Chain A
Amino acid sequence: METGTAKAVTKPGAEDLSDPAYLRIRDVIYQASGIYHPDEKLYLLAARCARRMSALKASTPAQYLEQLAFRGNREAELRLLLNEITIGETYMFRSPAQLAALRNVVLPQILEAKSARGFKRLHLWSAGCSTGEEPYTLAMFLLEESVKLLAGWSFDILATDLNDNSLTVAKAGIYGEYALRNTTEQLRRKYFKPHDDKRLQVNDQLKSLIRFDRVNLSNDSKMTCLKGMDLIFCCNVLIYFDLSSKRKVIQHFHSNLLPGGYLFLGHAESLYRVDDRFRLVHFPGGIGYWKPPAGYAGGGQP
């Protein structure tokens, strides 16, 4: 397996992963969206493709690849496949490693730099917040840290999405067991109130930290107004953009961030060939894109 061949990956019920078409499909997805499946995760990709293949009555991955790469419906099919790939990724506290990195690495850096210049307020932006799980997670995280790490600091969260229906759900803040699967009993008691016998609703304290707004990331005039961010979270949104729109959005994110700020994408997502002004930085359990302050020359550790 060390040489990285796909055929040794065996998961129960899996498709024939030795079919080289899967490697081509992986590359098509990576180049179009930045989402990458390492060899060991090809079985996931194959399972997602299988659903699209049966919808299209394609009997082999090669036939499906043809649909995905060469036919006129390429854009539409890619979008449908990406929907399959990212399905079920939205729930609260989805990435504990990212929160641990925020707590132990990222925020200490930012707090030190900001307080040296006399600032005591943090600005976070969940860009493409969908139905609100991410901004509410961030709000709970910040409130929990406000007794220690963030003592004496204030913070606000901007949560935007293009989709009005998603924003309506997000603003209502009513969630069932799936969204709350990673939320501890203690946090549920502290930040939620009962809504009906199956669902909980976020309390007013959480809501008060978040400003919801409809923003199209491709709208230049709107994007130009959103300055002074410390952290931007943009999970599984840019994957749907073509390269030139993606470049534009990333350019905006870069100027929306303060020097020293970070952009976080989805866990399998990367800025493949999009922008070299961000630095790809590794943390325990994850990566982030860092906007270095002027004069950064490198040296391994930001």
Chain B
Amino acid sequence: MITLEKIRPKIEALDAMPTVPAIIQPLTSMLRLPPEEVSLDKVVMIVSYDSTLTAQCLRMANSPLFGRLNTETVRSAVIALGLKRVEAILLGCCLNRIVPPDKWVLDRMTFWRHSLGCALVSSRLAKLIRYPDPEKAYLAGLLHDVGILVNTLACTDEFRKCVQAARDGHLELDRSEAEHLGFTHCQSGRILAKRWNFSADVTEVVEYHHKVAAAQTAVPLVALVHLSDLLCRLRDLGYGYYEAISVDLARDQAWTLLVEHCPALAKVDLARLTMDIDGAMDEIVTTVDAVFKPQA
């Protein structure tokens, strides 16, 4: 049996791979400065260096979710998106490149539909429940499944079998991983999150989004992304196969934890909330497809 220890060196080597673009360092350190010290000109310049990043920023800014701005310049796209959204797009681009085109196990578009879908639902849910940092929720939703990319790269054949078993049995992916690999994408994702210096709360989301009760400091964020992940998988933005799941959301541990942090939630009409999110799904799919097509 393959173990996490055996693949750890492979995972830790990922950031040395030449496919990780050189811009990740200057841009993320720039974006971590206090907002008044960030130079918009420099951000625009850095983004413009990378054609994929430029294209994705423009497509996102021109997507229905941003009201189809018809933006043509990087500068106006960056302003419309906001710096945090630009950072999320950057990380998505970098992650997209660590998997060579012929190596994807979950289909590339399926993976990004799920990840970007989860990001959009997370930020929408964050606003609905008045979570203080919707952009953080967006980033955490986008990155929560990086472990799937790690498994794709570090143990491609074993992971392929594991996904096939999940597909055949309509199983949840993490259950199939635990059975066939002995570890889940949460555990392998955590190693990458640490190596790539994800913030502590996003790292917790990566590690605990299938085990919310184990979250330590970022409990509301982990719970929020867990629920968004579930909602996406329940609404055709999952892993590309049918998962035989039924969820009593109001009794889901994540919902209970969120209610503890935000008592007003107990009164939320869950049927209406989920119908609101259902309503947004079509636009989310349109946006994801616009941003990630063609091959980035």
B217 beta carbon closer than 8 Å to chain A: no
Q: Known A104-B242, A104-B244, A105-B244; judge A1-B283 contact (CB<8 A).
A: yes
Q: Which residue of B lies closest to A262 (CB)?
A: B246
- Interface locus among B8-16, B48-56, B154-162, B266-274: B266-274
B64 beta carbon closer than 8 Å to chain A: yes
Chain A hits for B36, CB < 8 A: none
Q: Known A38-B275, A271-B271, A300-B252; judge A281-B124 contact (CB<8 A).
A: no
Interface residues of A in 95-125 (CB under 8 A from B): 100-101, 104-106, 108-109
The listed residue with most A CB atoms (<10 A of its CB), out of B66, B233, B269, is B269
Chain B hits for A38, CB < 8 A: 275-280
| A39 pairs with B279, CB closer than 8 A | yes
Per-residue A-contact encoding for B14-41, CB less than 8 Å = 1, 0 else = 0000000000000000000000000000
Chain B hits for A300, CB < 8 A: 247-249, 251-253
| A280 pairs with B249, CB closer than 8 A | yes
Interface residues on B, range: 35 or more
Cross-interface CB contact of A290 among B243, B248, B269, cutoff 8 Å: B248
Cross-interface CB contact of A2 among B123, B235, B244, B249, cutoff 8 Å: B123
In the bound complex, how far is the Cα of B280 from the Cα of A108, in angstroms? Answer: 31
In the bound complex, how far is the Cα of B276 from the Cα of A3, in angstroms? Answer: 11
Chain A hits for B245, CB < 8 A: 105, 283-284, 301
Q: Which chain B residues have a beta carbon within 8 Å of chain A's beta carbons? A: 64-67, 120, 123-124, 127, 170, 230-231, 233-236, 238, 242-253, 269-272, 274-280, 282-283
Interface residues of A in 26-45 (CB under 8 A from B): 30, 36-41
A279 beta carbon closer than 8 Å to chain B: yes
| A40 pairs with B243, CB closer than 8 A | no
In the bound complex, how far is the Cα of B248 from the Cα of A30, in angstroms? Answer: 22
Cross-interface CB contact of A104 among B170, B272, B274, cutoff 8 Å: B170
In the bound complex, how far is the Cα of B170 from the Cα of A104, in angstroms? Answer: 8
In the bound complex, how far is the Cα of B245 from the Cα of A100, in angstroms? Answer: 11
Chain B hits for A36, CB < 8 A: 271-272, 275
In the bound complex, how far is the Cα of B275 from the Cα of A37, in angstroms? Answer: 8
| A39 pairs with B276, CB closer than 8 A | yes
| B272 pairs with A284, CB closer than 8 A | no
A287 beta carbon closer than 8 Å to chain B: yes
In the bound complex, how far is the Cα of B124 from the Cα of A100, in angstroms? Answer: 28
A282 beta carbon closer than 8 Å to chain B: yes
| A272 pairs with B269, CB closer than 8 A | yes
In the bound complex, how far is the Cα of B233 from the Cα of A8, in angstroms? Answer: 26
Chain A hits for B250, CB < 8 A: 279-280, 298
